[in-house]
Structure 1
Amino acid sequence: MNQPVFATWNDPDAKPLIQFRNVTKRFGDFTAIDDLTQDIFEKEFFALLGPSGCGKTTMMRMLAGFDMPSEGQIFIAGQDMARIPPNKRAVNMMFQSYALFPHLSVWDNIAFGLKREGKDKEAINARVEEMLRLTRLSKFAKRKPHQISGGQRQRVALARSLAKAPKLLLLDEPLGALDKKLRQDTQFELMDIQEKTGTTFVIVTHDQEEAMTVASRVAVMDEGRIIQVATPAQIYEAPNSVYVADFIGDVNIISGRAKPTGEKVAIQWAEGQPDILGTTTTKFDAGQEIHFAIRPEKVAISTEEPLDAANKLQGKVLDIAYLGNISTYHVELPTGHVIKAQTANTRRLSRRQITWEDPVWISFTDTAGVLLER
């Protein structure tokens, strides 16, 4: 995960580069963005993450100036963007399709924006060469887009977007067209380039793994609202709602009623089953609805009853997903609930002792999960 050394958002004196102030955007009767307020800081790699139709692309189009807010204000570097057309903003946008000119060479594609600005020949040459070096494309400068790979085309689009040294670069699903392996490699290249240039990147993606890899902060969105903004580690380990916990990674969710006991909370969740014990700083009232979210890698599985576990439940193995480095066991409890437990595969396949239909115990500590109100 791209955890930066800086965390400007925690500094009360830091001035945001981008400010959304009570922004609402309607298309006819449909509200795409609903009273949204959010700051994004200089040099951040900020990810907008959410399902299709949650409003993330609308936010980006408003930053670029292609759409105007119905209500509220957007500031970039302290300037109200209300009457600033797209071509006058210190913002560049990189589209999913890359939108390269097929008849121009890689070099000319990168130089295109600089030539239109009327920069002198020497300045253009120097800047294009710098961009080619940065994106490791120097030896492809004379080729046309159809003569290079998808990953290289993606880097040309990036070099062209960065050539004009924008304060802000918007990336709309930039890696969507690449296969998984290339996408992973390109994510690290993007982080590297962002760090070297110091440009603020805002990326729109529905790929949680991508957001978690590249971003300094992630905004999880749903129906035009931001549900939680935090670093990838905080989003994963301390989600603020069932929606966020469920959207990021794999998770088990058990719902029940709270029974506070000092610092711990017992969850009454099923007739005839022991309460689940959790630790939280949130205050829960007795009988209040409560949700317990726990990641599969924090659930242990064994054939023997664990003696000293804070939480242990009996069940049988319903399914096993073998993913090479890890195995995920789907364990069915007597109540019909299915809990996933994950183990690292440190041994060869033939040496494993748990298989389908086996009776097993699953166990976890009282601090392994998160207790959520909503």
Structure 2
Amino acid sequence: MNTQTIDSNFAPWENAEETPLIDFQNVTKRFGEFTAIDNLNLKIYEREFFALLGPSGCGKTTLMRMLAGFENPTEGTIILDGQDIAPVPPNKRSTNMMFQSYALFPHLSVADNIAFGLKRDGMAKGDVDARVDEMIRLVQLGKFAKRKPDQISGGQRQRVALARALARAPKLLLLDEPLGALDKKLRQETQFELMDIQESTGTTFVIVTHDQEEAMTVASRVAVMDHGKLVQVDTPDRIYENPNSTYVADFIGDVNILKGHASKTDAGCTIAWGEGQPEINTSCGTELRGAVHYAIRPEKIAVSADKPDAANVLKGTVLDIAYLGNISTYYVKLATGEVIKAQAANNRRISRRSFTWEDEVYLSFTDTAGVVLAQ
């Protein structure tokens, strides 16, 4: 698929002079006594692939429905391309929405499904045909243009729905759990297809998902939500490596979280955390003192039979092992009763595991491997 590659330095959110395409200004949405969105401020920029991520009921779908025009804010303003969209009806907005169900017309062919909205808009037949051909090429469905939706696969139906949504050239495309109906392997393949198409068209995509892996794969930025609030908005790598709270650290990927007490040292800081356990040597912000949480990803922890020379070393017993093909996760129980997860890549084809149940092992990690969090 031919794509126009977005500049690797693409980061309009870091430029204070950049005008956002979407600007939520102190937006609150209530349903009776329930507050779905709580005084939210958010800027989304042109050509972004932006993900709203969070558990069911966190408010991400309500945000999307307000953008689409199916709901209006109780308080606050939503600006789209410089215009307050509250008085603009859904069919007059420069947005389009792709639903999880795809909502294709079963009696129409692939081409006619894509053409439907264009014909409703009164576009000339020659222009409709040209635009449909362009969209079919974009989603690589040339061989299937005359087939009905029940004659193509789930992944192909997903692409038809995407082509139909993009046919009217919206400034903003909203995707509501668009890959939820696909199996895992097809879902992963389709994620990259979505990224290619988004880059090729330059359309701003906003995707709602509860799938953290999906959000981390496709998005330029991710907004992690909880109870109608934005907990953290950042690039996927920063959210994973530098979560701003235990909620984000725990929601994104696997993590070990230890409660402790931070003290400043000349080299950084130490965290006293478990009776009889060595203090954790780490780096932490100047404002972090006293009660803290220490979050460390399992892949940052090495497992060895012999005691290594490392900044941090803990000793424990292998309680359980999860073999996942490319990696193995070891659940190691410490003397305190704390269970620490550590991961090792299975980069060699061997007949037996390096460690087995009830083996005594050492866990080691560097002083920069984890993150110290105040909450």
What is the CA-CA distance between 1:152 and the residue it aligns to?
Answer: 0.3
**% identical aligned pairs:** 71
Contact 1:263 1:281 in 2 (8 A): no
Partner residue, 1:300? 302
1:110-121 to 2 correspondence within 5 Å?
Answer: 110-121=114-125
Kindly provide the amino acid, as one letter, of the partner of residue 205 in structure 2. F
Kindly provide the amino acid, as one letter, of the partner of residue 113 in structure 2. N
What is the CA-CA distance between 1:349 and the residue it aligns to?
Answer: 3.7
Distance 1:357 1:369, change over 3 A: same
Counterpart selection for 1:61 from 47, 62, 65: 65
What is the CA-CA distance between 1:347 and the residue it aligns to?
Answer: 2.5
What is the CA-CA distance between 1:264 and the residue it aligns to?
Answer: 1.3
What is the CA-CA distance between 1:262 and the residue it aligns to?
Answer: 2.8
Kindly provide the amino acid, as one letter, of the partner of residue 373 in structure 1. A
Contact 1:3 1:216 in 2 (8 A): no
Kindly provide the amino acid, as one letter, of the partner of residue 298 in structure 1. K
What is the CA-CA distance between 1:273 and the residue it aligns to?
Answer: 1.1
- My pick for the range that moved more, 174-183 or 347-356, is 347-356
Partner residue, 1:362? 363
The secondary structure found in structure 1 opposite 2:18 is: coil
What is the CA-CA distance between 1:366 and the residue it aligns to?
Answer: 0.7
Within the alignment, does 1:276 sit opposite 2:291 as a pair?
no
Counterpart selection for 2:265 from 251, 261, 266: 261
Partner residue, 2:11? 7
| Separation in structure 1 between the aligned mates of residue 352 and residue 50 of structure 2, nearest angstrom | 44
| Separation in structure 2 between the aligned mates of residue 74 and residue 262 of structure 1, nearest angstrom | 48
| Deviation readout 1:275-319 (Å, 9 max, x if unpaired) | 11111234223xx2111110101101111111x211111100000
| Separation in structure 2 between the aligned mates of residue 298 and residue 265 of structure 1, nearest angstrom | 19
Counterpart selection for 1:199 from 203, 212, 219: 203
1:303-342 to 2 correspondence within 5 Å?
Answer: 303-306=305-308, 308-342=309-343
TM-score, scaled relative to structure 2: 0.97
Partner residue, 1:133? 137
Partner residue, 2:82? 78
Measured on the aligned residues, the alpha-carbon RMSD in Å equals 1.1
| Separation in structure 2 between the aligned mates of residue 182 and residue 352 of structure 1, nearest angstrom | 31
Kindly provide the amino acid, as one letter, of the partner of residue 293 in structure 2. H
| Separation in structure 2 between the aligned mates of residue 177 and residue 5 of structure 1, nearest angstrom | 33
Partner residue, 1:35? 39
Kindly provide the amino acid, as one letter, of the partner of residue 289 in structure 1. A
| Separation in structure 1 between the aligned mates of residue 161 and residue 9 of structure 2, nearest angstrom | 28
| Deviation readout 1:41-76 (Å, 9 max, x if unpaired) | 000000000000000000000000000000000000
Contact 1:96 1:173 in 2 (8 A): yes
| Deviation readout 1:238-274 (Å, 9 max, x if unpaired) | 1111000111111111111111113511111111111
| Separation in structure 2 between the aligned mates of residue 161 and residue 263 of structure 1, nearest angstrom | 55
| Separation in structure 2 between the aligned mates of residue 193 and residue 350 of structure 1, nearest angstrom | 43
- My pick for the range that moved more, 350-359 or 174-183, is 350-359
TM-score, scaled relative to structure 1: 0.97
Contact 1:276 1:311 in 2 (8 A): yes
| Separation in structure 2 between the aligned mates of residue 42 and residue 106 of structure 1, nearest angstrom | 29
Kindly provide the amino acid, as one letter, of the partner of residue 76 in structure 1. L
Partner residue, 1:209? 213
Kindly provide the amino acid, as one letter, of the partner of residue 202 in structure 1. V
| Separation in structure 1 between the aligned mates of residue 327 and residue 85 of structure 2, nearest angstrom | 49
Contact 1:51 1:206 in 2 (8 A): yes
The secondary structure found in structure 2 opposite 1:68 is: coil
| Separation in structure 1 between the aligned mates of residue 347 and residue 354 of structure 2, nearest angstrom | 13
Partner residue, 1:238? 242
Contact 1:4 1:216 in 2 (8 A): no
Contact 1:96 1:175 in 2 (8 A): yes
What is the CA-CA distance between 1:4 and the residue it aligns to?
Answer: 4.4
1:175-186 to 2 correspondence within 5 Å?
Answer: 175-186=179-190
| Separation in structure 2 between the aligned mates of residue 368 and residue 247 of structure 1, nearest angstrom | 18
What is the CA-CA distance between 1:351 and the residue it aligns to?
Answer: 4.5
Structure 1: tracts of 5 or more residues without a match: none
What is the CA-CA distance between 1:350 and the residue it aligns to?
Answer: 2.1
